[in-house]
Structures are given as structure tokens and as C-alpha cells.
Structure 1
Amino acid sequence: MSARMSPIALPPHVLDRPEVQAVLRCHDFGKVFKLARQWGGISFVKIADACDIKPERVGRLARGEGAITTYEKITRIADALAIPGHLVGLAPRPWEPTQPDALPQGERSFPSSGPEPRATGVSRRGAGAKADREGDDVERRRFLAASGLAGIVGVLPEQNAGSRLGHREVAQLRLRSSRLRRLDDVLGGADTRHIYRTELDGTVRLMRHASYSEATGRLLLSVVSELAQQAGWAAFDAGDQREATTLYRRAYEAAREAGDRALEGNSLAFLAYQQVSSTASGVATAMESCRTAGSDVPPTVRGLLHERRAWAHARAGEAKETEAALAQAEEALSGGFDHPGPEWASWVDGRELQIMKGRCWAELRRPLRAVPELETALADFDDAQARDKALYLSWLAHAYLDAGEVEQSAKVIGRAIDLSAGVGSVRPRQRIQTFLTRLHPHRSLEPVADVLHRAG
């Protein structure tokens, strides 16, 4: 029996109540269960059975103890109680008669805080288990964005004037920053920019209303720099270049005041990356980022800065300089590490370098060097990191086309189109559209015609 016809479904007069809709949007299912019993006459035992939750846990949730945060469980509850998907941050459920376009204004299934994240006109054709899995991945990403990341993001504690901050509070702020940074692996800037900016502004307010030693102040400024970099990256990813520039410069000033050379260099590297993504040359800024950081920063930081310098050289068409920068990045990452370095650079490793090599050689129209690097690095790259994988596949598609492998390039860009669906980032869309323009002269070939048709 479908959830829509289920005997325990919440009656329409219950779902229509504003207080019920409010707790649903907050994923406060304990209150939902209490209201279901009070106004719908549904016992906790029936709720437990239908939602596949132990009866004692239903009771605890109803008393305000604990929370439901997993995508799978929230989906199960929505279907068991016939709760429309838009009320809990899900796509319309299969049993819902109303399509998303028919929803009232303000009740769209997946609100976005930034530009439209899909590649223009992109749709998927075909069926089967693979398409189902891809649909699930898209819905999971949208669910995370629409639900406000419940259970991950908390409000910074208010500080009374004169409150004292020490190393423990700094450690807590760094832990929050680390957790939030991981969201960028699976969500785009359009979904996360407001979260990172809120965390940055809250940390600055915390510093303003508290007291601390000079040493603690420098540590706090380093946290501010990290947060400003992450907020700037999200703004850049969402397509707001002016805000990104402002935040990167803010990050640079905070790092300089803190005396944190690694973060100073990284702030400049972010600016260089942004510059080369437009019509400006970022070579000078990228070189300055390496000089600013110096040779004493941790290997992962050196590797990251030289990688971004290599990218700036590649975009400028400077093959010799590109190869030299890549060699310096490889040297930094291949030696033994005396210490792991900052958490914000911990993702820089051998595979990241291999991807950057492939991107650089693709940009320099050296497909024989680009294709092996990208193919190897992407062989087991997780589809959950959809934005990054779609972007990397776009460079692989360019490399295949430069090598004359037109059909293979069409196949690769088709995969990038699939992955980019539902990603809150303007960058995959931009790169896909650029590549489709290159592919258009080959539209007489069936694989090309197919992917162009899919792209609308």
C-alpha cells in the first residue's frame, strides 16, 4: 500500500496547520509525532511500525530527546506519514499528485541561494539502476542544501561583554570550520555560501565582544582568514566574483595581521585562481603567493601554492613555466612530512597533483600527456564529489577532442552532464557549454548528436 493511501497518513487538516509545517521544515519529528497523536489519533506504536523506528525511540523523540538527521530515515518518515516532499526538503514523492511547478511560490522543493546550478537545458534519458542511482545522488545533494544542513551547522554561542577566549575556544572554532569545510566536497557554492558567510560574521562578532590575549588574538585572526577564504571560494563557485574578491582580500589582511604566512600565501593563491578563471592573468599573483608563503610552510601548503601557480602559467600558455611549477609541487608532496600541516590543506595529495597535471596539459593542448593523468586519477574518483568530478571530466573531454577522439570526448562530456545535474555551482555549466560549442561541428556523428540533443 502506498504512503498516500496509508491508514496512518497524517490527515490534510493536520498537514495544513502552520505549526505542523514549521516543525516539519525544521525536521523536528518528535513534535511531529506528538501532533500526529494529538490531532490525527495516530499512536506511537503505529508510527514506530510504519517508520521503522523502535517504539522507545519514538517516545524519546516525542520528549525532545535526540533527532532524526539521516536522508534515508527522513525519506521513510515522509512516505509513511504522507508528508509532501517540499515540507521536509525532499523532491516530490512518487505518490504526490502535484508537480514541483504547481507548488505555490515559496514552496519549491529545493530553494537555491545562488545561480541556477544545472547545466542549461540538461536532462537525462534512459532508465535502469544506473539512472536511479544518479537520481538518488542528485536528490541527496538537494536534500542537504534545502534542509539547511540540520545537525551539522549550529549557531555560535553568544558571548557577554568581557568574556574571555582562550586556546580551548579557538580549538572549538577550528573544529567547526573543519566540519563546515567538508560540505564543499558534496555541495556547490550556491548551497553553502550563506553558511560560510554566517560563520565568518559570527566569529568576527565573537572576537568583538570578548577579551583574549595577544597570542589568542593571532590564532583567532587565522580562523577568520580560513573562514573568509572558504566563504570567498563559495561565492566564486556560485558566480559572485565581486564578493569573492572582497572576501579573499579580507582573508589576506587577517592572515597578515595574524602573522600566518601560509594563510597569506593561500589567500593570494585563491585570488590568482579567480583571476585566471576570468580574462585576467593570475601569474603575478600566483608567483607572489609562493614568495609570500616562503619555503618554511608545510609541504602540503607548498604543494598547493605551486599547483595553483602551474595552473596560472598553463592558462597563460607558458608550458615551460607550467612544467617547472608542477615539478616543484611534486617535490613538496613527495618528501616525508615532519608534520601533517594545516587541516585546510590536508586534501592536497598525489591524486590532486595528478589531476592538476592533467588539467594543465589539457589547457596547453597536450592531450597525449593530459589523458593518461586524468583517466588514472578519475578511475576511482567518488561520484559524490559531483561538482569536482564533472569539472575534471570536462578537461578530459577537451583533451580527447584535441587528440581527435571525438566519440570518446562526447561520451565523457555526457558523463559530466549527468554529474552536474543539481550541483549548486556555475562552473560545471560554463565549462560544459564551452565544450559543446567545440563539439557542435561534429554533430553528424551519432554520439555527438545524442549528447547535443540531451543538452537541449
Structure 2
Amino acid sequence: MPDADRPQELPARLLTDPEMINACRARDFARVFRLVKTRAGIYPSMIARRCELTPSRVGEVMAGRRQLLHMDVIERIADGLRIPGDMLGLARRPWETPQALVVTERETPQQPEPEKQTPDSLPGPDVDSILTLATRTSLSAATLEAFRSSIEDYWRRDDQHGGEALRPAIVGQLRYVVGLLKESRPPSIQNGLYGIAAELARLTGWTYFDARQYNQARSYFTEALQLAKEIDDRQFMANVLACMSLQATYQDKPADSLALVTAAQDQARSALGTTPRVPSMLSMREAFAHATLGNQTSTHRAIPEAHRQFEQIQATDPDPAWVTYFDEPKLIVDTGIAHGRLGEAATAEPLIADALRREDRTNQRGRAFHAFWLARTQLDQGKLDQACSTATQALESASAVASERVSGHLREFYDQLAPYRQEPVALAFEARLRAVLPPVSGSLHP
């Protein structure tokens, strides 16, 4: 890129100014844009062009009428204005130099070159936190909706790419919101902040669970429970307990899984306005727990209950946003997985195959996970060629998402191929597995 076309660097003095650091940490782009204008001479029209925003949108942000919380927009701002990713809670940007905040100043005839700063001149994290807490942030119902929109964006990206790269930004936003809770606000705003903090804590727990880092996941799930309890949001508490129940099945603690999902159902029943989609999802989690315990009768009782509740769903139901993922394809695939956990492969296979055909193709982790289960049920029926072909499809989806949980399942499938290890289709799957997923000690054998 010619020098004339390369985005202008911000002055080091601005990047190391506590006011700029505080504004970036809070993702207060009204302040960021005003500081960029006054301290760097980059006017709103240029900000808009460099960040791929409309001038009117930049004007609304600077006037405090609009929040910018979507990750793709924040990344464009970081790249367009050359704000180091660390300052905005992002990963290091591709254009950054090895030293986090070393920038090259451009000489201009209008003013002398600003004094260069080194990373040592940055305030420590404790000072940065104090500056954040010292700033009284005005919040409104629109601000809460912007936070919720950001959370929806995190979940979408988590489905597509996994949560590992997102986690620093999610944790940063969680700590920021928890800090806001220390200020006195109207009850409607304060309760909304508690709900948002609970959502962010659950999402953080989920990213750790998906990475199979179970102790960290449990800590964040527990924090989410405590935050939801502060506002007596029993439906959300049920949701978090259901997540913990699912984690317990992965830790080979089926009795814990059943106890947690039973507690979740108790919370949902005691909540006002619980919509049928919530108990339907919880009944399916109960079926998972019973199936993991090998209790066929109880599993076969929980599955029809999940379907009965699902049939009562109305289009006008005010479902919580966190349960809307539980649609008909998800109900069907989970039904198949519950049968698969019981060893009822012939019943499970057509259900999982049907749901996989109807599933959202952007949900790479879900497709990889469900294709693994389809391959497992096919292998349990002795359909080796089909099973290996399906597992190879699962690998293609798995290669697009960072999920140790999915990778572990596919290595588990490889272990189940032991009786067929010398068959050509099994050898082909092994070769593809080695190419797509990094080896884990003891998981693949030459």
C-alpha cells in the first residue's frame, strides 16, 4: 500500500492519554471520536470513511444518540483509526508492530512532532480500572438494548467460529458492566444491567465449557447464577443450571447432571410467565441426564414431555432471547441424540439426519457436533462406509470452528473405529483427521 493511502497513525501522546485509554476501555466511541477530532485533527467525515461508517452515523455517535457495540464495527474502528486492539479489548490487529503502542509519527508543517511515548508511560491496570470507575456513565433503555444486541452478536460468532478469540472481549465487557452495577441507578436500568451481566457471565462460562476447561466454566456459571438471583430471574437461573447439567454429562457425573436439571425445572416452574419453549428445552436436558445414567424408562418419559411442551408454543410467546435457539430442528436432533445415548441407534439415525438437513448452515459447531452423532449411530449399526463419510463431513465443519469439545468428539469417533482400523475408509478418515485437527497426545496412534 503506498504511503499516501496508508491510514494516518494517531499521535502516541493521544494513545497514552488516560482519557483516551478510559474511553477505549469503556468503548465510549462518542468520546473516542471527539478526542480523535480534537487531538489528531481527523474530522467526522474522515472518521466515517476510514471506519466504513456513514457520516450521519458518526454524527449520531458523537452526539450521544447511538451506541456502537457490534464486534465487526469495533474491529473496523480499530483498524481504520489505528487504535491497538488491546485498548478496545480485541486481539492484536494484523497491522500492529511487536511493541503494542509504538507508532511512527508523521511530520507535518503545521505543528511540531509530538513527544514520543513508550509503553512504560502507560498507566497500570489498577489505575485504568480506577479511571473507569470514576467516570459516571449515563445509561438508558436504548443502551441496554445495545448491550443485548452485542451479546446476540457474540453468540452468533461463537456458533460460527468458537468462543476462544471472543473471550477477552466478552470478559472485558462483563467486568465493565459489573463495574456499572456499583453506581446508583433507577431500578429498571439497574435490573437490566444485572440481567446483561448474567448473560455475559453465562456466555463466558459457555466458552470455557466448549474449550473443556470445566473449572473455569463452573466459576462463571456460578457467577451468572448469583447475578440472576439478585433480580430473581428464575427463568435465567434455570437456563444456567441447564448449562451446568450438560457440563456434568461431559464430566461423567450423570447423577449431578440430573440433580442440576431437576433444580432448573423447579426454578422454571416457580417463575412467572414461563413460556412452553423453556420447559421443552429443560425436559430434553433431563432426557440427556437419564440417558447418560442408562435409565431407559425415564428417558422415554422425558422425551415425549419435551415434545408435548413444544407443541404448545405459540408464535406470539414472549420467549427469552436465550431459548430461541431451541427450534424444531434442535428438538428433533436432541431427540435423536438422547436415543443415541441410550444405544438406540436405529431410532436415532433418521432423526439426526433429518435435523441436520434442516439446520442453519452458518452454525458450524452445531453441524459438526450433530454430524458426529449421526456418524456414531451409523457406526453402531455396522454402517462403516456411511459412518466414515459422515464423520469426514463433520471434520469439514469442525475445521471452521475452534471447539475442543467438537474436536474431542471426533477423536472419540476415531477411537471407536479400532475394530476397523485397517479398512480403507477408516484409514482415509484417520488421514483426514490428522490433517484437519492437531494431534493430542495419546489420541491418535500411528
Per the alignment, residue 153 of structure 2 pairs with 179
- CA deviation map 1:320-374 (0-9, x unaligned): 2222222222122211425231111111111110010111111111111111101
Give the Cα separation in 2 of the matches to 1:179 and 1:379. Answer: 25
Per the alignment, residue 300 of structure 1 pairs with 277
Give the Cα separation in 1 of the matches to 2:172 and 2:278. Answer: 26
Unmatched tracts of structure 1, length 5 or more: 1-8, 23-58, 75-85, 91-103, 108-156
- Name which of 390, 415, 436 aligns with 2:393: 415
> Aligned with 1:417: secondary structure?
helix
Give the Cα separation in 2 of the matches to 1:346 and 1:293. Answer: 16
Is 1:219 aligned with 2:192? yes
Deviation for aligned residue 1:178 = 2.5
- CA deviation map 1:393-452 (0-9, x unaligned): 111111001111011111111111122114211011100111101113213322122112
Structure 2 counterparts to residues 293-332 of structure 1, below 5 A: 293-294=268-269, 296-332=273-309
Per the alignment, residue 111 of structure 2 pairs with none
Contact 1:229 1:248 in 2 (8 A): yes
Is 1:248 aligned with 2:225? no
Deviation for aligned residue 1:289 = 0.7
Per the alignment, residue 164 of structure 2 pairs with 190
Contact 2:398 2:406 in 1 (8 A): yes
Contact 1:340 1:346 in 2 (8 A): no
Structure 1 pair 106–427 and aligned structure 2 pair: CA distance change class (3 A): farther
Identity of counterpart residues, as a percentage?
Answer: 23
Unmatched tracts of structure 2, length 5 or more: 13-41, 54-71, 77-90, 101-130, 435-446
Give the Cα separation in 1 of the matches to 2:430 and 2:242. Answer: 36
> Aligned with 1:294: secondary structure?
helix
Structure 1 pair 10–314 and aligned structure 2 pair: CA distance change class (3 A): farther
Task: Name which of structure 1's ranges 337-346 and 354-363 shifts more when overlaid on structure 2.
Answer: 337-346
TM-score, normalised to structure 2, is 0.67
TM-score, normalised to structure 1, is 0.66
Per the alignment, residue 116 of structure 2 pairs with none
Structure 2 counterparts to residues 22-421 of structure 1, below 5 A: 63-66=46-49, 67-68=51-52, 165-208=139-182, 210-281=183-254, 282-294=257-269, 296-337=273-314, 338-421=316-399
Give the Cα separation in 2 of the matches to 1:430 and 1:201. Answer: 31
- CA deviation map 1:92-126 (0-9, x unaligned): xxxxxxxxxxxx9999xxxxxxxxxxxxxxxxxxx
Structure 1 pair 330–429 and aligned structure 2 pair: CA distance change class (3 A): same
- CA deviation map 1:133-157 (0-9, x unaligned): xxxxxxxxxxxxxxxxxxxxxxxx9
Give the Cα separation in 2 of the matches to 1:454 and 1:438. Answer: 16
Per the alignment, residue 433 of structure 2 pairs with 455
Give the Cα separation in 2 of the matches to 1:205 and 1:191. Answer: 23
Per the alignment, residue 406 of structure 2 pairs with 428
Deviation for aligned residue 1:302 = 1.7
Alignment size in residue pairs? 334
Contact 1:164 1:212 in 2 (8 A): no
Give the Cα separation in 2 of the matches to 1:60 and 1:380. Answer: 48
Task: Name which of structure 1's ranges 171-180 and 435-444 shifts more when overlaid on structure 2.
Answer: 171-180
Give the Cα separation in 2 of the matches to 1:171 and 1:62. Answer: 27
Contact 1:158 1:206 in 2 (8 A): no
Structure 1 pair 346–283 and aligned structure 2 pair: CA distance change class (3 A): same
> Aligned with 1:362: secondary structure?
helix
Letter in 2 for 1:240: Q
Letter in 1 for 2:262: M
Question: Which structure ranks higher in relative contact order (CA pairs < 8 Å, sequence separation ≥ 6)?
Answer: 1
- CA deviation map 1:164-216 (0-9, x unaligned): 645444333323323332222212121222222122111111222x3213344
Structure 1 pair 435–106 and aligned structure 2 pair: CA distance change class (3 A): farther
Contact 2:329 2:358 in 1 (8 A): no
Letter in 2 for 1:283: L
Give the Cα separation in 1 of the matches to 2:98 and 2:418. Answer: 37
